[in-house]
Amino acid sequence: MRIADFFKSIHFKMITIFMLLIFIALQVIGVYFTGELESQLEENHRDMIIERADLLEYNVRQELTRDRDEEEEPLEDDIADLLQEFFSIDNSEAQVIGPNQQVLGTSDWNEQDIVGQQSTSVRVERALLGSSDDKIVKDRTGNRMLVVTQSIEDNGDILGAIYIEASMGSIYSEMNEINSIFFKGALIALAITAVLGILLSQTITKPIVDMRKQAKVMREGDFSRRVRVYGQDEIGQLAESFNSLTMNLKEANAMTEGERKKLSSVLTHMTDGVIATDELGRIILMNKRAEQLLNVNSNRIMGASLPEMLHLSETVAPSDLYDYSDSILLDFSDENEAFLLEANFSVIRNEEGPVNGLITVLHDVTEKETIERERREFVANVSHELRTPLTTMRSYLEALEDGAMEDENLGPRFLQVTQNETERMIRLVNDLLQLSKMDSDDLKITFETVDLGALLHQISERFEMITKDKNIRFSKDIPIHPIYVDMDKDKMMQVFDNIVSNAVKYSPDGGTITIQVIARTKAIDIEISDEGVGIPKDSQPRVFDRFYRVDKARARNLGGTGLGLSIAKELVESHDGYISVDSEWQKGTTVSVTLPYSVHEKAGVSE
């Protein structure tokens, strides 16, 4: 793997470039040099052969034109001597041809048998016609030969011709040796270039490799490393710029990371849910609060459609949410409890650019809406509760003003009604004031250790005296031994008075009210039961709500304000207790109050 990486590296590429440049330069020089040298050698060889041919032609012409004695050597011997004098060259042959194409002599001793024979060469025929020629040709063995033909003229007459074949082998052998020397020199130059390329390329590649390593560690988030600056050339300036870039990236990354942590902390600890989507309405971000409100896992719903997640897919498309400037109330309520969310949408958009996404902020408004609903109901109930007695009083006062006061029977009765309605409004106002103190934590509770059994006996005896006319019987199942409870006696007496009073109001004549005390391990239960009409199952969870009445007309006629059980619940819970109701329609109702034992009582039990 490392060898493959080396061949892909800039180091190898630079060495290859250096060697290719030198190789190409040597090739260009070699081709030009050898070409020119070969041409020059061929030209020199041709000039030499032609020069000797001219000398031979001159001397042969002299021999052919002079008068010869009978005692002299034959013409062929003189021509042979001239050929040996001028053309004793290796691998060369010169022939002198007469006007009738008869070979008069040859320089090749091995070819003397052709003397006197007819020459069949076309070039000789052209030379006898007055045409001279020189040309390089290949013989039957493939060797290149310089062929020179030259006519022998005297005053316009053709006396004969000279035919020369000079081998070029020595020239090309010499060229081959020169090429071999040049090739060896090129290999030596390339080897030296490779070594120098390795050494010189390191001065360039080493800083680049260092910057590559720096870029790799920067990619992994490490900005502490610095690139070494080897000089002030362009690469050194690049290294300095790279170090400056590293510092800037380090600062920018630290700033970005800090902002990211701040944003992450803000999103994590926000009491509102935040959801971010892309331009297509697909979820790309969700904080923990949004997961809790929607009861989902962000890792599983990434990429899901926002309208589908908010149960709006049937009526709203993702693009429609960009136009929502007002909040949307989302109802996630089920059969067991109400759950309402308020959604606000904000568009993510570049400055004067297209929409990039959407930010949705979810806020749990269940309690807010519940409080608002209860506030409206409370105002309506208070208005209704006050309007009814005030309307009654106004009617009776108008009747008294119109003359009913003079009537001995109607006057006192009308005054009694106005007095009852006044007392009813006073009770209502007092109850409202007490609830207001409870809501503002302004209610003062003074604890003292009280014998619960004695308190219940006292309350039941008082109501027995009050209810003699209705012939209501009280059944008490209260332990004989003292039962101590830490309580505010007046407040708890108000609680039991309210419960027993309701039992008396709704009990039929001759009915029985049972007061039972049940000792538990850590607390004590007080159950007060009657034999009245009871409470329907669907109304039982709401009997402790303010102004709630099962039978509004009857309760109002009996003088109830609808706040008694609400006050009782607040007072019991302020004593760390619990109050509940259990009723069966047409059979009766049982109200249970659970209070913790007194510390003294616990000590007495342990002893």
**In terms of Cα–Cα distance, which of 512, 579, 509 is closest to 541?**
579
Supply the pLDDT for residue 527: 92
Q: What is the pLDDT of residue 415?
A: 81
Residue 606, pLDDT > 60, answer: no
Type of residue at 1:
M
In the beta sheet, which residues pair with residue 584?
588
**CA atoms of 57 and 148, how far apart (whole Å):** 12
| SS3 track for 270-327 | CCCEEEEEECCCEEEEECHHHHHHHCCCHHHHCCCEHHHHCCCCCCCCHHHHHHCCCC
Q: How far apart are CA 600 and CA 474, in angstroms?
A: 30
Structure confidence at residue 98 (pLDDT): 82
Condensed to tens digits (0 to 9), the pLDDT of residues 93-126 reads: 888 888 888 888 887 777 777 777 887 787 877 8
Q: Which residue has the higher pLDDT, 366 or 454?
A: 454
Q: Which of 109, 102, 64, 113 lies closest to 83 in space, CA to CA?
A: 109
Element (H, E) at 207: helix 169-219
Least confident window among 381-385, 511-515, 556-560: 556-560
DSSP 575: T
Ramachandran area for residue 479 (φ above 0: left; ψ -120 to 50: alpha; else beta): beta
Q: What is the mean pLDDT of residues 558-562?
A: 55
- Tokens at 24, concatenated: 């190409």
Place of tokens 């009861």: 295
In this prediction, residues 159-177 reach a mean pLDDT of: 82
CB–CB of 268/261 below 8 Å?
A: no
Q: How many CB atoms lie within 10 A of CB 378?
A: 16
Q: How far apart are CA 290 and CA 344, in angstroms?
A: 13
Give the tens place of pLDDT for each residue, 266-300: 777 777 888 888 888 888 888 888 888 888 887 88
Indicate if the alpha-carbon torsion angle 292, 295, 301, 306 is positive or negative.
negative
Measure the CA–CA gap between 309 and 399, rounded to whole angstroms.
Answer: 65
Predicted confidence band of residue 3 (pLDDT cuts 50, 70, 90): low
> Is the confidence at residue 337, as pLDDT, over 60?
yes
How long is the chain?
607
Lowest-confidence pick of 228-237, 370-379, 447-456, 552-561: 552-561
User: Does the CA dihedral 179-182-184-186 come out positive or negative?
Assistant: negative
How many angstroms separate the CA atoms of 414 and 392, rounded?
A: 10
H-run or E-run covering 518 = strand 512-519
Cα distance between residue 20 and residue 130, in whole Å: 55
Nearest to 104 by CA among 93, 112, 96, 114: 96
Pick the more confident residue, 371 or 496.
496
What are phi and psi for residue 285, nearest 5 degrees? -155, 140
235 versus 558: the higher-pLDDT residue is 235
- Which tens digits make up the pLDDT trace of 196-210? 877 777 777 777 777
pTM assigned to the model: 0.43
Residue of higher predicted confidence among 547 and 41: 41
Beta bridge partners of 596: 523
> Which residue, among 363, 369, 371, has the nearest Cα to 294 in the 3D structure?
363
